[in-house]
Amino acid sequence: MSKNIKYILLVVLLFVLFAILVLASRLFGRIPANPPDTVGNTAGNINNAGLFCESDGMVYFSNPRDNGCLYSMTVDEQDVTKLNNSTVRNILAGGKYLYYFQTTDSGEGGLGYVRSRNSFNRCLKSGKDATSIATDVVISGQLVGDYLYLLTAGEPTPVFYKIKTNRSGKQVLAEYQVNPACARDGIIYYNGTQSNHYLYTLNTNGDTVSVLWEGNIWYPCLDGSYIYYLDVANDYRLCRYDMNQQVIQVLTNDRVDCFNVGGGYIYYQQNSAAAPALKMMGTDGSNPTVVAEGNYTNINMTSRYVYFQEFGEENSLYHCPLGGSSYSTF
């Protein structure tokens, strides 16, 4: 074999190796570590489809007027920008990345884009470099430190597992429903779904599980020292549990369909055959006020605004200032 041919083969081999390294770097590249207390979104938002997520002065949201595609804007609703063509929900943020569940073909092409349906993805906050982390149907997901905790619609039962943000280290934690939405300081708070509805904690440093309180709760949301929850035993009224004093406070005797809490306020949907309404009150249950008559859902909060949709109208979106009761179309 001549020296020229050997040289050409060497060049081709080096080019192939370089291409493989570039592809591997793009697909499996290092993701900067998050602080261990990183949490991707609030429990109240995630339990309301996770359509809005605030991070570092920006809001990332699913725009119902554009097929639920991923958008960004400032917290005061300026500089609205489309980030990609995917229909998204369960939006999370950590470091320079966003994480979200994609439910449609992205419509994008080329290396770095994700085209498949039902994919839990990671992308830069600019919307670029989308990468699939999991292809399961995700019911609820939360980012805690460097791990995504995902509740998925497994067959024949739900599957709850964790996976690192770089797609490594997948570990099944339970083969039943565990909602990881409520998290703080490396601890996930969730209600039981097997033999009871107690309040449990999952310490993500070792993934150890403990019973925190033998209540009968659903959708726990942590705000300060209080756990806000729906009281299963009493027709899903809204209550809060003081973890320091171990005292229960009933906030409303109305049956509640969904709620969100933050910034000193609770917004909730009152279930009533005669007079359904979206209402607000203080976090101590004070000054309940009707915001909008009718049935509403997907109540999401940022530090400035509350967003919600009319039940059954996926293209609708309304907003009002946090703490306010006057709303308008967004």
Interatomic CA distance for residues 182 and 180, integer angstroms? 6
Instruction: Calculate the CA 188 to chain-centre distance.
Output: 13
Identify the pLDDT of residue 23. 53
Closest CA to 260 of 296, 287, 294: 296
Per-residue pLDDT tens over the stretch 210-262: 999 999 999 999 999 999 999 999 999 999 999 999 999 999 999 999 999 99
Tokens describing residue 139: 């019911």
Calculate the alpha carbon distances from 70 to 64, 96, 98, 102, 214 in Å.
Answer: 10, 16, 10, 10, 39
Closest CA to 307 of 99, 126, 39, 49: 49
**Fold topology of 33-184:** Neuraminidase (2.120.10)
Interatomic CA distance for residues 131 and 167, integer angstroms? 10
Interatomic CA distance for residues 88 and 46, integer angstroms? 12
- The pLDDT mean for the chain works out to 91
Per-residue pLDDT tens over the stretch 119-144: 999 999 999 999 999 999 999 999 99
- Find the mean pLDDT for residues 78-90: 97
Q: pTM of the entire structure? A: 0.89
Q: What is the DSSP letter of 43?
A: H
Per-residue pLDDT tens over the stretch 288-308: 999 999 999 999 999 999 999
Q: 20-34, 61-75, 268-282: which range is least confident on average?
A: 20-34
- Asked whether the predicted pLDDT for residue 329 surpasses 80, the reply is yes
- Asked whether the predicted pLDDT for residue 173 surpasses 60, the reply is yes
CA atoms lying within 13 Å on the CB side of residue 260? 29
User: 260: which strand partners?
Assistant: 267
Peptide bond before residue 156 is cis, with ω within 30 degrees of 0: yes
- Asked whether the predicted pLDDT for residue 106 surpasses 70, the reply is no
Confidence of residue 112 (pLDDT cuts 50, 70, 90): very low
Closest CA to 188 of 241, 158, 149: 149
Domains of the chain, by residue range, sit at 1-30, 33-184, 199-253, 262-330
